[in-house]
A and B are shown apart, each in its own frame.
Chain A
Amino acid sequence: EDKVVQSPLSLVVHEGDTVTLNCSYEVTNFRSLLWYKQEKKAPTFLFMLTSSGIEKKSGRLSSILDKKELFSILNITATQTGDSAVYLCAVPIQGAQKLVFGQGTRLTINP
């Protein structure tokens, strides 16, 4: 069965800290991995990773994929209270017709 597992489930840090969120997967015919940020409402797209070892970066957020060890990490440096959200990892299966999501990591940034 295709599976996506995120850790930790919950993380509380202080503003300015750096955090690393983990996502491991077991899927057949892996093609890509996606990260989403969910604040109060809709998940919003952050990154799509398809190649191993190549870092994707957007401001203070960066992500990298390891296809050999079947995981990805999402790093956030110099965290701000606005980074507080649930971060979701997802892997498309069945030719990308279906996204399998992890259970999410709830990140809380305290001032």
Chain B
Amino acid sequence: AQSVTQLDSQVPVFEEAPVELRCNYSSSVSVYLFWYVQYPNQGLQLLLKYLSGSTLVESINGFEAEFNKSQTSFHLRKPSVHISDTAEYFCAVSDRNTGGFKTIFGAGTRLFVKA
């Protein structure tokens, strides 16, 4: 069965510092991996996704994540964060089941960027 573990519930970091949000998953089949971001009082938005091909994927606002099959991880990184990156980040895994694709979300990591 699928599961997603986000190892940190909260990550405080100073502005311009690097950050890594950790995500591990378990699945018995090929998976597709996603990071969603939820800004305060807004809905979830897709940040980046891994479907196939290059294991390193990037977003338009400087985040990147690397799919590591041997470690079943999909950690999210940014070399220098901004105050505006303060949000909750959800890792999600999707795989094919009899009804199509089923997506499971992690519990989320709250990133708090301090000035």
A binds B: no
Residues of B within 8 A of A (CB): none
